Structure 1
Amino acid sequence: MTDWQKSAWRDKPRVQMPDYTDAEALGTVEAQLSKYPPLVFAGEARTLRNELAAASRGDAFVLQGGDCAEAFDQFTADGIRDTFKVMLQMAMILTYGAKVPVVKIGRMAGQFAKPRSAPTEVRDGVELPSFRGDIINELDFTPEARTPDPKKMLQAYTQAAATLNLLRAFSTGGYADVHKVHSWTLGFTDSQEASKYREMASRISDTLDFMKAAGLESETNHNLKTVDFYTSHEALLLEYEEALCRLDSTSGKWLAGSGHMIWIGDRTRQPDGAHVEFARGVQNPIGLKCGPSLTPDDLKVLMERLNPANEAGRLTLIARFGAGKVEDHLPRLIETVRDAGANVTWVCDPMHGNTIKSATGYKTRPFESVLREVREFFAVHRAAGSVPGGVHFEMTGQDVTECTGGVYALSDENLSDRYHTACDPRLNASQSLELAFLVAEELTAHREANAAVATA
């Protein structure tokens, strides 16, 4: 793209970004980051684009999940391992149940910044800037904590690099070996869903034993011993994104070096805005959050700007409407895509449209609402004859109590037990497994319905 510069976003209207008071300190941090190695590489991003293209055709399925916002004070190797482990479990459920390869993308190693509904927060008559994630400011309600600090970008980079290092080790160092499918079960998942998982794991192990006995499995078969695991985040803090943007010497194209996939949020998708301007120029796969306010006209413009060559795998549309609202909005967007002849991958985010405030004052998401939106997403695609390409969850491997419902029937009164998120509520491991089984059932039904139509 010859008409694009990585700094061109600075001339566009910007929203949901902090105003740094110390321009010199900001410039120093940006200069330092621009010398650091990229966190991901162009070849990895191109491979992910190919896998997302397969998902757009129904030949694969996307599982995207992880933290609402990564926190500096909750950063541990065990936390990374447990979330990675749950995603392996969910992917295995989908692969085994729906007979489809799963594209595994974590909301990890970069998901530090969060958009807010208001730029400031008022408590007891005191007004301060809103907390925008650890890469920008701090949660404590003091003027010092809430002042945006550019040096936090350096800490975010360090944490992202360490997270990626561990994820790559887990993915290729033997931990993800499918022969260890039993060992991925977390100790606290003693639910009915965990029992279903163990039964499935036993059937997989029996199959692998048969393959080995029959000489069908090679000891050097890396497809069974490793996984491809990608990272993603919302590209919200554009100073950070620009500083890590690199020119790929093999293709001559720009790469957002902060993560394999970046997405534009529902609050920052203005067609003439700074975030769209930055995203349009990088070769990474781009996600676009699609909420109830997205109009067909804006979607047409956004597809043209973000994917002018109409390449499959380049643009993922992440639908987030809320339970009971999918049929009101998704069909017109599917029709817009179809009329434009656009190549997109459709993904369901059943989390962000279902956030409520509980009677006990905690922000939560009813698990039944999450399940309902997933079912509605598949039903609309089934009726439209289009492809449901994946799901996007906020979840964690920790045994948190942040979303009500699920197999343990968590109530409003349970939320205070282990409510650890600083931003939005996440599914815990048991709820994530339960959701994976439901998605596998929906995906299987969709594929069987398509097969029946094809043979009719």
Structure 2
Amino acid sequence: METIDGVEMPSFRGDNINGFDATPESRKPDPSRLVSAYFHSAATLNYMRASLSSGLADLHSPLDWGLGHVITPSIREKYTKIVNRVKDALRFMQTVGIDTDRGVETVDIYTSHEGLLLEYEQSLLRHLKNPDPPTTSTQPPKSYYATSSHFLWIGDRTRQINGAHVEFFRGIANPIGIKIGPSMTPTELTSLLDIVNPTHEIGKVTLISRYGAAKISQYLPAHIAAVQASGHIPVWQCDPMHGNTQATPSGVKTRHFSDILSELKQALEIHRAAGSFLGGMHLELTGEAVTECVGGAGGLTEEGLSERYTTFCDPRLSEKQALELAFLVAGFYRELDEELAEDESI
């Protein structure tokens, strides 16, 4: 509950439950919103499939390689080098006749969301009557699949070992994710893995770390060590968004691009030092030209946040910021590979 202008009303819990407008009528939970959420999800998936069929992901199509938003000359030079390599590779493939692979013309799309609303997830649970038994386990195969998404994750606030979300997730056959933050102890982490993945199936669980740039070096090494000692082999991802949220002096929620980049870079370095591997990054972004996260090559400042700040919840990277981040992270990987090559030659 929250009090606005002296009126107590339920807090906004997302469009699936109630409305954003600060009135008691809007904030009343409405079950019909679940039906609307399903409709919009299905419509979005159909739109994505149609876009892919139309060549949206074809690397041969004209793309925004100009990067006109980049102000810093040094970063623009790095971008240009990478873009030229991509273009050269595509031209080479075309010249030698190996560009017939559909891999450069389209992509496979998988959907994912936090399995927060169990009433919604339960209604979309499906039972597979004759699943193939696992070849390396004596336990009966799981035959229940959550069909609301390919990949569901448990949030850092709902991953209690004795909680309803863990109970639901341990019974589904989907690959699943678990957000882990500063409040999770190494012992809790390994106990949670034992519950949701008792057979130690490789890749069944993705651990999504979200500490914040100032805290990742304090917590991630111990979590990696505990998981390695447990015998579990999860996929590791880094969520550099949720641990770096802050408010401006005027109360606007935002994130700094430099903090997001810093946490990702530290995650790469920490995993490498521990003999582990960072398998991906977990971002909040939009294809729209929003102004919600400050910084980046575009030079967005806190004063410019109000230009196109449209989120009802968490601040997102814009299309340009997300592209910039992808280029920079790719650069980190190249630097690590070059250092590794030098070490091996020595």
Q: Could you say whether these structures have the same fold, taking a TM-score greater than 0.5 normalized by the shorter chain as the test?
A: yes
Counterpart of 2:223, as a letter, is L
Q: Give SS of 2:314's match.
A: coil
Deviation, 1:290, is 0.4
Once residues 375 and 240 of structure 1 are traced to their aligned partners in structure 2, the CA distance between those partners, rounded to angstroms, is 36
Q: Does the 8 A contact of 1:189 with 1:430 survive in 2?
A: no
- Mapping 1:37-436, distance limit 5 Å: 120-180=1-61, 183-185=62-64, 190-191=69-70, 197=79, 200-218=82-100, 221-249=101-129, 251=131, 253-436=143-326
Once residues 106 and 245 of structure 2 are traced to their aligned partners in structure 1, the CA distance between those partners, rounded to angstroms, is 36
**Taking CA–CA contacts closer than 8 Å with sequence separation of 6 or more, which of the two structures ends up with the larger relative contact order?**
1
Percentage identity across paired residues of the two chains: 49
Q: Give SS of 1:438's match.
A: helix
CA RMSD after TM alignment: 2.1
Once residues 319 and 117 of structure 2 are traced to their aligned partners in structure 1, the CA distance between those partners, rounded to angstroms, is 29
Deviation, 1:322, is 0.7
Q: Does the 8 A contact of 1:359 with 1:412 survive in 2?
A: no
Once residues 83 and 331 of structure 2 are traced to their aligned partners in structure 1, the CA distance between those partners, rounded to angstroms, is 17
Judged with a 3 Å threshold, the aligned counterparts in structure 2 of structure 1 residues 184 and 253 are, in CA distance, closer, same or farther, namely farther
TM-score calculated relative to the size of structure 1: 0.69
Q: Does the 8 A contact of 2:57 with 2:107 survive in 1?
A: yes
Counterpart of 1:229, as a letter, is I
Deviation, 1:203, is 3.6
Instruction: Give the structure 2 partner of residue 19 of structure 1.
Output: none
Q: Give SS of 2:179's match.
A: strand
Once residues 123 and 250 of structure 1 are traced to their aligned partners in structure 2, the CA distance between those partners, rounded to angstroms, is 53
TM-score calculated relative to the size of structure 2: 0.90
Counterpart of 1:263, as a letter, is W
Counterpart of 1:432, as a letter, is A
> 1:103-137: CA deviations, max 9, x gaps?
xxxxxxxxxxxxxxxxx222222221111110110
Counterpart of 2:2, as a letter, is E
Counterpart of 1:392, as a letter, is H
Gaps of 5+ in 2: 132-141
Range with greater deviation from structure 2 (198-207 or 316-325): 198-207
Deviation, 1:189, is 5.2
Q: Does the 8 A contact of 2:211 with 2:243 survive in 1?
A: yes
Once residues 122 and 313 of structure 2 are traced to their aligned partners in structure 1, the CA distance between those partners, rounded to angstroms, is 25
Q: Does the 8 A contact of 2:65 with 2:83 survive in 1?
A: no
Instruction: Give the structure 1 partner of residue 137 of structure 2.
Output: none
Once residues 395 and 288 of structure 1 are traced to their aligned partners in structure 2, the CA distance between those partners, rounded to angstroms, is 20
Once residues 437 and 310 of structure 1 are traced to their aligned partners in structure 2, the CA distance between those partners, rounded to angstroms, is 34
Once residues 155 and 196 of structure 1 are traced to their aligned partners in structure 2, the CA distance between those partners, rounded to angstroms, is 44
Judged with a 3 Å threshold, the aligned counterparts in structure 2 of structure 1 residues 222 and 423 are, in CA distance, closer, same or farther, namely same
Counterpart of 1:164, as a letter, is L
Deviation, 1:173, is 4.1
Instruction: Give the structure 2 partner of residue 442 of structure 1.
Output: 332
Judged with a 3 Å threshold, the aligned counterparts in structure 2 of structure 1 residues 421 and 337 are, in CA distance, closer, same or farther, namely same
Once residues 239 and 95 of structure 2 are traced to their aligned partners in structure 1, the CA distance between those partners, rounded to angstroms, is 42
Judged with a 3 Å threshold, the aligned counterparts in structure 2 of structure 1 residues 154 and 431 are, in CA distance, closer, same or farther, namely same
